[in-house]
Protein backbone atom coordinates (compact mmCIF):
# COMPACT_ATOMS: atom_id res chain seq x y z
CA UNK A 1 0.00 0.00 0.00
CA UNK A 2 2.83 2.36 0.98
CA UNK A 3 4.75 1.77 -2.25
CA UNK A 4 1.60 1.94 -4.37
CA UNK A 5 0.55 5.42 -3.23
CA UNK A 6 4.12 6.70 -3.46
CA UNK A 7 4.51 5.36 -6.98
CA UNK A 8 1.18 6.82 -8.06
CA UNK A 9 1.99 10.27 -6.68
CA UNK A 10 5.50 10.31 -8.12
CA UNK A 11 4.21 9.20 -11.52
CA UNK A 12 1.54 11.91 -11.52
CA UNK A 13 4.10 14.51 -10.43
CA UNK A 14 6.42 13.48 -13.23
CA UNK A 15 3.61 13.70 -15.78
CA UNK A 16 2.64 17.18 -14.52
CA UNK A 17 6.28 18.23 -14.71
CA UNK A 18 6.59 17.08 -18.32
CA UNK A 19 3.50 19.07 -19.33
CA UNK A 20 4.64 22.18 -17.45
CA UNK A 21 1.79 22.02 -14.92
CA UNK A 22 3.78 21.27 -11.77
CA UNK A 23 2.49 24.17 -9.64
CA UNK A 24 1.64 23.94 -5.95
CA UNK A 25 -2.09 23.77 -6.64
CA UNK A 26 -1.49 20.82 -8.98
CA UNK A 27 0.66 19.08 -6.33
CA UNK A 28 -2.18 19.51 -3.84
CA UNK A 29 -4.71 18.00 -6.26
CA UNK A 30 -2.44 15.03 -7.09
CA UNK A 31 -1.93 14.17 -3.42
CA UNK A 32 -5.60 14.73 -2.61
CA UNK A 33 -6.75 12.38 -5.37
CA UNK A 34 -4.30 9.64 -4.44
CA UNK A 35 -4.99 9.81 -0.71
CA UNK A 36 -8.79 9.96 -1.04
CA UNK A 37 -8.83 6.84 -3.22
CA UNK A 38 -6.82 4.80 -0.73
CA UNK A 39 -8.12 6.31 2.53
CA UNK A 40 -11.73 5.45 1.66
CA UNK A 41 -10.87 1.81 2.38
CA UNK A 42 -9.95 2.50 6.01
CA UNK A 43 -11.60 3.88 9.12
CA UNK A 44 -11.16 7.59 9.81
CA UNK A 45 -8.38 8.26 12.30
CA UNK A 46 -6.89 4.77 12.02
CA UNK A 47 -3.16 4.13 11.97
CA UNK A 48 -3.46 3.05 8.32
CA UNK A 49 -4.84 6.46 7.34
CA UNK A 50 -2.07 8.25 9.22
CA UNK A 51 0.48 6.07 7.47
CA UNK A 52 -1.04 6.93 4.09
CA UNK A 53 -0.69 10.64 4.81
CA UNK A 54 2.96 10.28 5.81
CA UNK A 55 3.70 8.22 2.70
CA UNK A 56 2.00 10.78 0.46
CA UNK A 57 3.95 13.68 1.92
CA UNK A 58 7.17 11.65 1.75
CA UNK A 59 6.59 11.01 -1.95
CA UNK A 60 6.47 14.76 -2.63
CA UNK A 61 9.52 15.45 -0.46
CA UNK A 62 11.54 12.79 -2.28
CA UNK A 63 10.49 14.25 -5.62
CA UNK A 64 11.62 17.77 -4.71
CA UNK A 65 14.40 17.10 -2.21
CA UNK A 66 16.95 18.81 -4.45
CA UNK A 67 15.30 22.13 -3.57
CA UNK A 68 16.57 21.83 0.01
CA UNK A 69 15.36 24.63 2.27
CA UNK A 70 13.12 26.00 -0.51
CA UNK A 71 10.86 22.97 -0.29
CA UNK A 72 8.28 24.60 2.02
CA UNK A 73 5.60 25.41 -0.59
CA UNK A 74 5.63 21.90 -2.04
CA UNK A 75 5.47 20.29 1.42
CA UNK A 76 2.64 22.62 2.44
CA UNK A 77 0.71 21.73 -0.73
CA UNK A 78 1.23 18.00 -0.11
CA UNK A 79 0.00 18.25 3.49
CA UNK A 80 -3.04 20.27 2.43
CA UNK A 81 -3.84 17.76 -0.31
CA UNK A 82 -3.46 14.82 2.07
CA UNK A 83 -5.76 16.43 4.66
CA UNK A 84 -8.36 17.19 2.00
CA UNK A 85 -8.12 13.61 0.77
CA UNK A 86 -8.65 11.92 4.13
CA UNK A 87 -11.33 14.37 5.23
CA UNK A 88 -13.50 14.39 2.09
CA UNK A 89 -16.03 11.90 3.48
CA UNK A 90 -16.08 13.59 6.87
CA UNK A 91 -16.82 16.95 5.27
CA UNK A 92 -19.80 15.43 3.50
CA UNK A 93 -21.12 14.39 6.92
CA UNK A 94 -20.40 17.87 8.32
CA UNK A 95 -22.31 19.46 5.44
CA UNK A 96 -25.34 17.24 6.10
CA UNK A 97 -25.22 18.00 9.83
CA UNK A 98 -24.98 21.71 9.10
CA UNK A 99 -28.05 21.47 6.86
CA UNK A 100 -29.97 19.83 9.70
CA UNK A 101 -28.82 22.52 12.14
CA UNK A 102 -29.97 25.26 9.77
CA UNK A 103 -33.38 23.67 9.51
CA UNK A 104 -33.67 23.45 13.30
CA UNK A 105 -32.42 27.03 13.67
CA UNK A 106 -35.11 28.24 11.28
CA UNK A 107 -37.71 26.31 13.26
CA UNK A 108 -36.40 27.80 16.51
CA UNK A 109 -36.45 31.33 15.08
CA UNK A 110 -40.04 30.83 13.98
CA UNK A 111 -41.13 29.59 17.41
CA UNK A 112 -39.32 32.48 19.13
CA UNK A 113 -41.00 34.96 16.81
CA UNK A 114 -44.39 33.42 17.55
CA UNK A 115 -43.67 33.66 21.28
CA UNK A 116 -42.69 37.31 20.92
CA UNK A 117 -45.91 38.07 19.05
CA UNK A 118 -47.96 36.43 21.81
CA UNK A 119 -46.13 38.48 24.45
CA UNK A 120 -46.77 41.68 22.47
CA UNK A 121 -50.49 40.89 22.31
CA UNK A 122 -50.61 40.25 26.07
CA UNK A 123 -48.79 43.50 26.84
CA UNK A 124 -51.10 45.41 24.51
CA UNK A 125 -54.15 43.98 26.32
CA UNK A 126 -52.67 44.96 29.68
CA UNK A 127 -52.14 48.49 28.39
CA UNK A 128 -55.74 48.56 27.18
CA UNK A 129 -57.10 47.64 30.63
CA UNK A 130 -55.10 50.51 32.11
CA UNK A 131 -57.14 53.06 30.19
CA UNK A 132 -60.09 52.43 32.50
CA UNK A 133 -58.00 52.99 35.63
CA UNK A 134 -57.19 56.26 37.44
CA UNK A 135 -54.43 58.36 35.90
CA UNK A 136 -51.82 57.37 38.48
CA UNK A 137 -52.58 53.66 38.02
CA UNK A 138 -52.54 54.00 34.24
CA UNK A 139 -49.12 55.70 34.43
CA UNK A 140 -47.74 52.88 36.58
CA UNK A 141 -49.10 50.21 34.20
CA UNK A 142 -47.71 51.98 31.13
CA UNK A 143 -44.33 52.38 32.80
CA UNK A 144 -44.20 48.70 33.74
CA UNK A 145 -45.18 47.56 30.23
CA UNK A 146 -42.65 49.86 28.58
CA UNK A 147 -39.92 48.66 30.91
CA UNK A 148 -40.56 45.11 29.77
CA UNK A 149 -40.76 46.07 26.09
CA UNK A 150 -37.56 48.11 26.16
CA UNK A 151 -35.51 45.84 28.38
CA UNK A 152 -31.86 46.70 27.73
CA UNK A 153 -30.76 43.39 29.18
CA UNK A 154 -32.75 41.39 26.63
CA UNK A 155 -31.49 43.54 23.77
CA UNK A 156 -27.89 43.20 24.94
CA UNK A 157 -28.19 39.43 25.29
CA UNK A 158 -29.57 39.12 21.75
CA UNK A 159 -26.79 41.31 20.41
CA UNK A 160 -24.04 39.39 22.20
CA UNK A 161 -25.52 36.09 21.03
CA UNK A 162 -25.47 37.28 17.42
CA UNK A 163 -21.88 38.49 17.81
CA UNK A 164 -20.77 35.11 19.15
CA UNK A 165 -22.53 33.29 16.32
CA UNK A 166 -20.82 35.57 13.77
CA UNK A 167 -17.41 34.90 15.29
CA UNK A 168 -18.11 31.16 15.46
CA UNK A 169 -19.04 31.09 11.77
CA UNK A 170 -15.76 32.84 10.92
CA UNK A 171 -13.83 30.34 13.05
CA UNK A 172 -15.55 27.49 11.18
CA UNK A 173 -14.68 29.10 7.85
CA UNK A 174 -11.04 29.20 8.93
CA UNK A 175 -11.14 25.56 10.05
CA UNK A 176 -12.82 24.42 6.83
CA UNK A 177 -10.28 26.26 4.66
CA UNK A 178 -7.35 24.97 6.69
CA UNK A 179 -8.45 21.34 6.89
CA UNK A 180 -9.74 20.56 3.46
CA UNK A 181 -13.25 21.99 3.28
CA UNK A 182 -14.75 22.68 -0.11
CA UNK A 183 -15.04 26.26 -1.35
CA UNK A 184 -18.82 26.03 -1.10
CA UNK A 185 -18.55 25.02 2.57
CA UNK A 186 -16.27 27.97 3.38
CA UNK A 187 -18.55 30.38 1.52
CA UNK A 188 -21.52 29.02 3.43
CA UNK A 189 -19.80 29.89 6.71
CA UNK A 190 -18.97 33.39 5.41
CA UNK A 191 -22.64 33.92 4.49
CA UNK A 192 -23.66 32.73 7.94
CA UNK A 193 -21.18 35.12 9.57
CA UNK A 194 -22.62 38.03 7.58
CA UNK A 195 -26.17 37.02 8.58
CA UNK A 196 -25.35 37.08 12.30
CA UNK A 197 -23.18 40.18 11.94
CA UNK A 198 -26.12 42.04 10.41
CA UNK A 199 -28.29 40.94 13.34
CA UNK A 200 -25.71 42.21 15.83
CA UNK A 201 -25.18 45.52 14.10
CA UNK A 202 -27.02 48.46 15.72
CA UNK A 203 -28.19 51.57 13.90
CA UNK A 204 -25.21 53.47 12.53
CA UNK A 205 -26.20 56.77 14.10
CA UNK A 206 -25.94 55.26 17.59
CA UNK A 207 -22.42 53.91 17.06
CA UNK A 208 -19.24 55.76 17.92
CA UNK A 209 -17.05 56.73 14.95
CA UNK A 210 -14.20 54.43 16.02
CA UNK A 211 -16.51 51.42 16.36
CA UNK A 212 -18.18 52.20 13.04
CA UNK A 213 -14.78 52.25 11.35
CA UNK A 214 -14.07 48.77 12.69
CA UNK A 215 -17.46 47.58 11.49
CA UNK A 216 -16.59 48.91 8.05
CA UNK A 217 -13.30 46.99 8.16
CA UNK A 218 -15.17 43.79 9.00
CA UNK A 219 -17.56 44.28 6.08
CA UNK A 220 -14.59 44.86 3.76
CA UNK A 221 -12.87 41.70 5.03
CA UNK A 222 -16.04 39.64 4.54
CA UNK A 223 -16.25 40.86 0.95
CA UNK A 224 -12.54 40.28 0.36
CA UNK A 225 -12.75 36.73 1.69
CA UNK A 226 -15.63 35.92 -0.64
CA UNK A 227 -13.77 37.36 -3.62
CA UNK A 228 -10.57 35.45 -2.83
CA UNK A 229 -12.54 32.24 -2.46
CA UNK A 230 -14.29 32.73 -5.79
CA UNK A 231 -10.92 33.13 -7.49
CA UNK A 232 -9.52 30.06 -5.68
CA UNK A 233 -6.52 32.03 -4.42
CA UNK A 234 -4.19 30.55 -1.81
CA UNK A 235 -4.44 33.97 -0.16
CA UNK A 236 -7.87 32.94 1.17
CA UNK A 237 -6.37 31.44 4.34
CA UNK A 238 -4.52 34.64 5.21
CA UNK A 239 -7.63 36.69 4.41
CA UNK A 240 -9.80 34.48 6.64
CA UNK A 241 -7.28 34.79 9.46
CA UNK A 242 -7.35 38.59 9.15
CA UNK A 243 -11.15 38.45 9.10
CA UNK A 244 -11.18 36.47 12.33
CA UNK A 245 -8.83 38.95 14.04
CA UNK A 246 -10.90 41.90 12.79
CA UNK A 247 -14.10 40.33 14.14
CA UNK A 248 -12.50 39.61 17.50
CA UNK A 249 -11.26 43.21 17.73
CA UNK A 250 -14.66 44.63 16.82
CA UNK A 251 -16.82 42.48 19.07
CA UNK A 252 -14.72 43.08 22.15
CA UNK A 253 -15.81 46.72 22.06
CA UNK A 254 -18.60 47.31 24.53
CA UNK A 255 -21.03 49.99 23.43
CA UNK A 256 -22.45 51.90 26.43
CA UNK A 257 -26.03 51.25 27.42
CA UNK A 258 -28.52 54.05 27.94
CA UNK A 259 -28.02 53.85 31.71
CA UNK A 260 -24.26 54.12 31.32
CA UNK A 261 -24.66 57.12 29.04
CA UNK A 262 -26.93 58.75 31.61
CA UNK A 263 -24.34 58.17 34.34
CA UNK A 264 -21.63 59.68 32.14
CA UNK A 265 -23.82 62.72 31.53
CA UNK A 266 -24.43 63.15 35.26
CA UNK A 267 -20.72 62.94 36.04
CA UNK A 268 -20.00 65.60 33.43
Task: Work out the pLDDT band at 264, boundaries 50, 70, 90.
Answer: very low
Q: What is the mean pLDDT of the chain?
A: 79
- Looking at per-residue confidence, does 191 or 152 come out higher? 191
Identify the CA nearest to 81 among candidates 179, 3, 13. 179
Distance CA 11, CA 8 (A): 5
What structural domains and CATH numbers belong to the chain? 2-88 (no CATH), 151-268 (1.20.120.660)
Q: Is the pLDDT of residue 268 over 60?
A: no
Say which residues have a Cβ less than 8 Å from residue 34's Cβ, sequence separation at least 6: 5, 8, 9, 12, 56, 85
pLDDT in tens, 141-182: 888 888 777 666 777 788 888 888 888 888 888 888 777 667
pLDDT in tens, 62-115: 888 887 777 888 888 898 888 888 887 777 778 788 889 889 888 988 898 898
Q: What is the mean pLDDT of residues 200-216?
A: 58
Amino acid sequence: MSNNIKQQIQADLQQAKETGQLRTDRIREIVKSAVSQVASEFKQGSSEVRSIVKDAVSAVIENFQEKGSELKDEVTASIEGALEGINSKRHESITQTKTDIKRLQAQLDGEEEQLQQEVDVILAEIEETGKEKPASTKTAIDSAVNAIKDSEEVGLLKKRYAQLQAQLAIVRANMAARYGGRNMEVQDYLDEAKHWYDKARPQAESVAVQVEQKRSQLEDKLGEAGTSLARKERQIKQTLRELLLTAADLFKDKEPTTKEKERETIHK
